[in-house]
Amino acid sequence: MVFGPPQDPILYSFPSPNNLIDALASFVIKVQKDSIEKKGRFTIALSGGSLPKQLNSLIGKPGLKWDLWHVYYADERAVPLDHPDSNHKLCSDVFYSKVPIPVQNIHPIDPNYLDDLDELSDAYEQELIREFAMKDSARYPVFDLILLGMGPDGHTASLFPGHELLSEEDRWVAWIDDAPKPPPRRITLTYLVINHAARVAFVAAGAEKADTLHTVLDKPEEGLPASRVRPASPGQVFWFVDDAASSKVQYQRAQFKL
């Protein structure tokens, strides 16, 4: 694939969190359909925080080919898979337990390496190599869709403001042991992966996100981690937000259509 300069983000703002969640579901279904038509499978990376619950509206919708989903994590906390802080546990509880994604298509971290973050992130990178380098013969993993949240400091995945991981240029998966959001030990996809995705969709709702969203979209030159998500063309970043979160944003809103 030939990559070009990034395109501007597309911002969708909805009157209520429920409208947002419904639109997100339609978007995911459409992306899934297009990906399966093109390549016979759908690769998606999920985040933690409030995001997994937003996928609830997919449950029971027609047109979903769950057996062709291949699910990874944009970031994960270095804790056992059944620990309350685990993103995998959260996704299992609120999402996988309700939809028939084959268990072998869900890719959690390897809990054998929890004591050694270097090995933990290397092992996860190997998972990506198996999915992408071996099946697509690609130089970078090209996720069909990466779903991200945004923290109040502008972090996304486990890429935090001012952290050296923001300039990681070699690894697809990196680790951090001093994350300001607990728990401190985590692994994360790096920009090398995020910025080669076919589509990245941020989901952010609530007035407490308003100041940060304004900075991320209207002042990208400040370089907050969420602003640095700029997938190389033909990749595209989308923002799915509610009007409370976008209340201070001047950036142009787009009409949501599929």
Ligand X SMILES: O=C(O)[C@H](O)[C@@H](O)[C@H](O)[C@H](O)COP(=O)(O)O
Q: Quick check: 227 binds ligand X (CB under 6 A)?
A: no
Q: Quick check: 121 binds ligand X (CB under 6 A)?
A: no
Q: Quick check: 17 binds ligand X (CB under 6 A)?
A: no
Output 50 or 236, the one with its CB closest to ligand X: 50
Residues numbered 73 to 112 that lie near ligand X (CB under 6 A) are 75, 87
Q: Quick check: 141 binds ligand X (CB under 6 A)?
A: no
Output 90 or 198, the one with its CB closest to ligand X: 90
Output 11 or 226, the one with its CB closest to ligand X: 226
Q: Quick check: 195 binds ligand X (CB under 6 A)?
A: no
Q: Quick check: 47 binds ligand X (CB under 6 A)?
A: yes
Output 35 or 86, the one with its CB closest to ligand X: 86
Query: Segment near ligand X (CB under 6 A), from 20-28, 117-125, 155-163, 190-198?
Result: 155-163
Q: Quick check: 50 binds ligand X (CB under 6 A)?
A: yes
What's the rounded Cα separation, in Å, for the pair 162 and 43? 30
Output 43 or 156, the one with its CB closest to ligand X: 156
Size of residue set near ligand X by CB under 6 A: 14
- Report the 3 state secondary structure along the chain: CCCECCCCCEEEEECCHHHHHHHHHHHHHHHHHHHHHHHCCEEEEECCCCHHHHHHHHCCCCCCCHHHEEEEECEEECCCCCCCCCHHHHHHHHCHHHCCCCHHHECCCCHHHCCCHHHHHHHHHHHHHHHHHHHHCCCCCCCCEEEECCCCCCCECCECCCCHHHHCCCCCEEEECCCCCCCCCEEEECHHHHCCCCEEEEEECCHHHHHHHHHHHHCHHHCCHHHHCCCCECCEEEEEEECCCCCCCCCCECCCCC
- Choosing from 181, 214, 228, 248, the residue that interacts with ligand X (CB under 6 A) is 181
In the complex, the smallest distance separating the C-beta of residue 54 from ligand X, rounded to whole angstroms, is: 8
Residues at the site binding ligand X, with contacts judged by CB under 6 A: 47-51, 75, 87, 149-151, 155-157, 181
